[in-house]
Structure 1
Amino acid sequence: MPHALAEIMYRAAELLAEGRPVTVLPDEEMLSTQAAADILNVSRQYLVRLVDAGELPAEMVGSHRRLRATDVAAFKATRDAKRTLALDRLTSLSEDVDGYQLGDKPR
């Protein structure tokens, strides 16, 4: 088995063990707006707004928008990194004001 394939299988197994869904797509795969929305776990309408706002690249194929799997994956990774940073900052702020302190608190 090629090393690259073994890495993919290992990472997929880790994610599945965490209960997270896994999708494997070729980089050049063109996705419908619904398929891309499903991957991002957003509504199709919201995804179309992202495309129309220029936040997510897409190509018109006839009257339909198509998105590259690599662009959707990159958008997801960036979005997830921003979310993680925001949650880390919120956690830090909560810790700074003893938001996680247990015990009797005046009401």
Structure 2
Amino acid sequence: MSQTLLIPTLPTETDATLARETSRLLAPRMRSKAPLRVRVVGAAKEETLELPAPAVQMLIRILEEMARGNAVTLIPVHAELTTQEAADMLNISRPSLIQLLDEGKMEYRKVGTHRRVRFDALMAYKRQADADRRAALAELVAYDQEIGI
């Protein structure tokens, strides 16, 4: 996967301001299902492009994140991650990720001796782990209320 991704960089203050203004202008178009026609004015010539509605929605979300000063990376859902990339996304160590893989908690495949984790499998695991944490927290809160803490 790493060969196809751009290195994420934090937007400058100028970039963030421009992203904020542009997202504000595009935001009313977010609910539209119709393609958006955009005029591109360059040094050579002027062209009109049509952007599919889902691309416009994604562009608005990217601009909103940039306006907040966040770096943004796009990852195709079918992309395969190395174990280090997957561990980084879960904010855990690589050995901890490998333990999860070996326990069968996440799907992966082997390429030679290397494990590859599909992005969609990683996100499914993350959603389930987040839901489990929220459920455990709700149980603790209920217990605390029960005993009057």
Tell whether the structures are fold-level matches, with TM greater than 0.5. yes
* Paired residues, number: 99
The answer for unaligned runs of 5 or more in structure 1 is: 100-107
TM-score by length of 1: 0.75
* Structure-1 residue corresponding to 2:37: none
Aligned positions of 1:1-107 closer than 5 A: 1-8=51-58, 23-99=73-149
Distance 1:90 1:14, change over 3 A: farther
> Please, what is the CA RMSD of the aligned residues?
2.8
Q: Name the structure where strand makes up a greater proportion of residues.
A: 2
For residue 16 of structure 1, report the CA deviation from its aligned partner.
8.1
1:44-66 residue CA offsets vs partner (Å, 9 max, x unmatched) = 00110111111111111121100
- Structure 1 residues 22, 42: CA separation in 2 closer, same or farther (over 3 Å shift)? farther
Q: Could you tell me which runs of 5 or more consecutive residues in structure 2 were left unpaired when the two chains were aligned.
A: 1-50
Query: TM-score scaled by structure 2?
Result: 0.55
Largest Rg, 1 or 2? 2
